[in-house]
Amino acid sequence: MNGTGAGHGGREDVFLRRAAGPEEVEDLLCACAPEVLAAFVGRFGDFDLCEEVFQEVLVAAAREWPERGVPSYERSRLLTTAVGALIDRVRRAEAGRRGEAGASALTDRAILAYAGRGAPGEDVWEGPLSLFLLCCHPDLPRAARTALVLRAVGGLGPARVAAFFDLPEETLERYVARARRTIVEGGWTRALPVGEERAARLAEVRSVLRLVHDRGYAAEAARLARLLDRSLPGGGGAHGVEACAPAHRCT
C-alpha cells in the first residue's frame, strides 16, 4: 500500500520517534489495535474495507517501526495513516470508474464524506465493545468469529492467526475476507444488539475467549478478556478468563 508505513501526505516529520525492538513494537501494536480500529470503523462504517486497510497499516508498522523508531502519539499516527490509506484506496477505485483526471479532481474531504456515508451513529457504536459484538455475530461460523476477534480486536498479525488455525496465510485471508463481506452486506455495524440479544452475544464472545485459551493462547485470551471487562459499562464482564495467564507478545 502506498504510504502505509511512512504516513500520508508527507506528515511523518510531525511525529518524534523513539527506539524500540520488534517485540516491543508488536506488543504496542496489539495494545493500540482495538481502540484505533474501533475509531476507524466507527467513522466510516465499512468493516470490510476498514479492517483490510488497518491490517496493512499494522503489518507495515511492525516492519518499519523497529527500524525507524516508534512515533509519538502512536494511536493517532496509526489512525492518521489508516485514513490516508483509505483515501488512496478509494481514489484508485474511482480512477478505475471515471479515469485518472476525474479521480484527481476529488478532494480528500469529498472522499472521506463518501467513505463515511455508512458510518454507525454515536448512539450505536461503542468502541472496542462494538468490535467484540460485531465479530461474534451468530450468523458467522465459530471459526470466523474466532479469527475476527483475534485479528480485529486482538491485533494479531496474519501469520499468527493462520498458525492458530493451522492454515496457510492465503487460505486464512480468504476466509476472513468472506466473513468481513458478510458483516458489510448484513449492515451489522448499524444494528448492534441490545437487551437479551446483547447478553447472548456477550456469552458468545466469552465462549470464543475460552476457545482461544484452551487452544494454548492463554495470554491472548487473558488480554482480550481484560479489554472486554474494561469495555463493558461498569466493568466486571470477563468472568475470570482474564486470570488465565500474564500477557506476552501477541503478533
What pLDDT digit, counting tens, does each position of 48-79 carry? 999 999 999 999 999 999 999 999 899 999 99
> Which pLDDT value is given to residue 245?
44
| Maximum Cα–Cα distance across the chain | 57
Contacts of residue 92, defined as CB under 8 A and 6 or more positions apart, other chains included, come to 103
Q: How confident is the model at residue 199 (pLDDT cuts 50, 70, 90)?
A: very high
The single residue listed with the C-alpha cell 463493558 is 232
Query: What does the angle CA 30 – CA 200 – CA 240 come to, to the nearest 5 degrees?
Result: 50
Q: How confident is the model at residue 236 (pLDDT cuts 50, 70, 90)?
A: low
> Which pLDDT value is given to residue 243?
44
What pLDDT digit, counting tens, does each position of 31-43 carry? 999 999 999 999 8
Report how far residue 58's alpha carbon sits from residue 29's, in angstroms, rounded to the nearest whole number.
7
Report how far residue 47's alpha carbon sits from residue 40's, in angstroms, rounded to the nearest whole number.
9
> Which pLDDT value is given to residue 38?
94
Mean pLDDT of the chain: 84
Whether the per-residue pLDDT at 176 is higher than 90: the answer is yes
Domain limits, the chain? 15-89+117-243
> Which pLDDT value is given to residue 239?
53
What pLDDT digit, counting tens, does each position of 95-122 carry? 766 666 555 656 776 767 766 666 776 6
What pLDDT digit, counting tens, does each position of 124-140 carry? 688 899 999 999 999 99
